[in-house]
Structure 1
Amino acid sequence: MTDNLIIGSDSEVILHFDLKLEDGSAADSTRVNNKPAKMVMGDGSLTPNFEACLLGLQKGEKKSFTLAANDAFGEPNPNNIHYMDRSRFGADLEIQEGAILAFSQPDGSEIPGIIRSVAGDSITVDFNHPLAGQTVIFDVEIVDVKVAPAPTSKGDQ
């Protein structure tokens, strides 16, 4: 009976995807390692517009859809570009334009930053998503659809 579930707002979805840019260049794919992605609709891991494209699909279906920048990874935010002094980086670290480095957040998590320019002791780091501002094409294949497990609360005993 679960073989014909369609994707709804409470679905757990396993899917393969290929993410391409408008020029046809590959940006990401689950097929590279033959490991499909698993997501829960409405958990915030995907934009509402991406989720809307998946609604109504079922196991075995394939679909291709194009998302404008605002519907995918957003537009670049100038507030996410930071100018840092070279002294904030390890002395032995070779810093090159285009390099992606991990930066520690105050809570201990890490966020990637792209080195946009190096001018003397001033380093420009862009914390926008690398695909911000890009129209993207998603090709998806739905591997499985299940009803997502209900979230558990520590107060429920």
Structure 2
Amino acid sequence: MPSTTVATAQPGDTVEIDFVGRFEDGEVFDSSEERGPITFTIGGEAVIEGLQNIVKGMEPGETKAEEVPPEHAYGHRRSDMVKEIERAHLPDDMDPEVGVALRLRLDNGRRVKAFVSKMTEDTVTIDANHPLAGQTLTFEVTLNAILDEEPVGEAE
């Protein structure tokens, strides 16, 4: 009787997965349940390294859960990405609120997303860290399929 080899997900493969992402306390922060499965190419830049590492070596139909430390997720929090700005330096039409996202242009011309994290009468503190930076995350992943497609989800 001939042996059958089952394909496993490898770098360069385009895959379709369902997932649930949880904080250390078990609270769900993201899930494909509502919006449907996601498709990406392993080794691309569409999803975090830790999620890609979970999928590598999985067979279609397999489900597994693993912890992903900050260095393989959204990085550690960086204090140099938190800045306090005098309100007098803000545009007159800007009325920031804690939690509001801002698009900022850096001196090098690059745009970054930052959040207002604190406000006083005279200052506004903005934080350009990813909201999940510094978090150890757990992902439960089901590999639905290894697709025969062109790579998807690459950074533009």
TM-score of the aligned structures, taking structure 1 as reference length: 0.78
**Partners of 2:90 and 2:10 in 1: how far apart?**
47
Amino acid at match of 2:33: R
**Partners of 2:61 and 2:110 in 1: how far apart?**
36
**Partners of 1:49 and 1:129 in 2: how far apart?**
15
Q: Corresponding residue for 2:116? A: 115
**Number of corresponding residues:** 145
Q: Corresponding residue for 1:10? A: 12
| 1:24 maps onto 2:26 in alignment | yes
Q: Percent of aligned pairs with the same residue?
A: 21
Q: Corresponding residue for 2:55? A: 54
**Partners of 1:17 and 1:108 in 2: how far apart?**
35
User: 1:11-41 CA deviation, whole Å, 9 max, x = no partner?
Assistant: 10111111110111111111122x2111111
**Partners of 1:27 and 1:110 in 2: how far apart?**
25
**Partners of 2:124 and 2:144 in 1: how far apart?**
44
User: 1:79-133 CA deviation, whole Å, 9 max, x = no partner?
Assistant: 211222335256363x332x13131446998643221110123111111011111
* Structure 2 SS opposite 1:9: coil
Unaligned runs of 5+ in 2: 1-5
Unaligned runs of 5+ in 1: 152-157
The ranges of structure 1 where at least 4 consecutive aligned residues each deviate by more than 4 angstroms after the TM superposition are: 106-110
**Partners of 2:100 and 2:41 in 1: how far apart?**
28
RMSD: 2.5
* Cα distance, 1:89–1:145 mapped onto 2, change above 3 Å: farther
Q: Corresponding residue for 1:103? A: 103
User: 1:26-60 CA deviation, whole Å, 9 max, x = no partner?
Assistant: 11111122x21111111123344432221111221
